[in-house]
Amino acid sequence: MSIFITRAHELADIKDELAARDWFMGTSGNLAIKVQDEPLQFLVTASGKDKRKRTAEDFLIVDKEGNPIGETNVKPSAETLLHCEIYGRSNAGCSLHVHTVANNVISEIYGDEGKVVFKGQELIKAFGRWEEDAEWEIPIIYNYAHIPTLAAAMIPFIKEDKGAVLIRNHGITVWGRDGFEAKKVLEACEFLFQYQLTLLQAKANLQAVK
């Protein structure tokens, strides 16, 4: 089987798993997986499709600038440039972008601080931080409507082959060396966001009964 077909199947499986979590509300979200370096080519989700369904035109192959390679009836996701920056600046093999209520609320609560920090959480190990009381910081960038500006705002935070950036009141972009790692980072982030929101709510409830 060609590497293209293998990667397309891998991305389709990831898409199904994230769809099962209902992380593609209103056709939002986009996924990408690298097919080759030199020249860079990656598969990305087609624009405006219901990602809960499997079709023959779910993905298309694009170059390092996000332009489709070859004939196609579909357009790459409007946010393909974000994936281009990740593959151009790291050894990531997969990058995922989803909009969830939890990541949007967290990005709004901590947006003015420009980051949300998690400390002493078991799931921080997903980011390769194994020490006790390790910290993990997720930057929060402004949601520029102009996609090249948004992609440029993310560049300073693409420092490692795996990572995560929140876009305020928009969603999260994560990446990892392969599909397994990118998904692990995404699931860990969403766990931490839900934990934080539940904790804040529980603290507020305790305060109210005091």
Binding site for Zn ion (CB under 5 A): 171
b/e burial code for range 158-171 (CB count within 10 A of at least 16 → b): beebbbbbbbbebb
| Closest chain position to Zn ion (CB) | 171
Q: How far apart are CA 179 and CA 3, in angstroms?
A: 14
State the minimum distance, in angstroms, from the CB of residue 30 to Zn ion. Answer: 7
State the minimum distance, in angstroms, from the CB of residue 42 to Zn ion. Answer: 17
Q: Which is nearer to Zn ion, 33 or 81 (CB)?
A: 81
User: Coil, strand or helix: which one is 44?
Assistant: strand
Q: Which is nearer to Zn ion, 60 or 166 (CB)?
A: 166
Q: Which is nearer to Zn ion, 171 or 176 (CB)?
A: 171
| Amino acid in position 101 | V
State the minimum distance, in angstroms, from the CB of residue 122 to Zn ion. Answer: 29
The answer to whether the CB of 34 falls within 8 A of the CB of 91 is: no
Q: How far apart are CA 77 and CA 54, in angstroms?
A: 16
Q: Which is nearer to Zn ion, 92 or 124 (CB)?
A: 92
The answer to whether the CB of 102 falls within 8 A of the CB of 190 is: yes
State the minimum distance, in angstroms, from the CB of residue 79 to Zn ion. Answer: 5
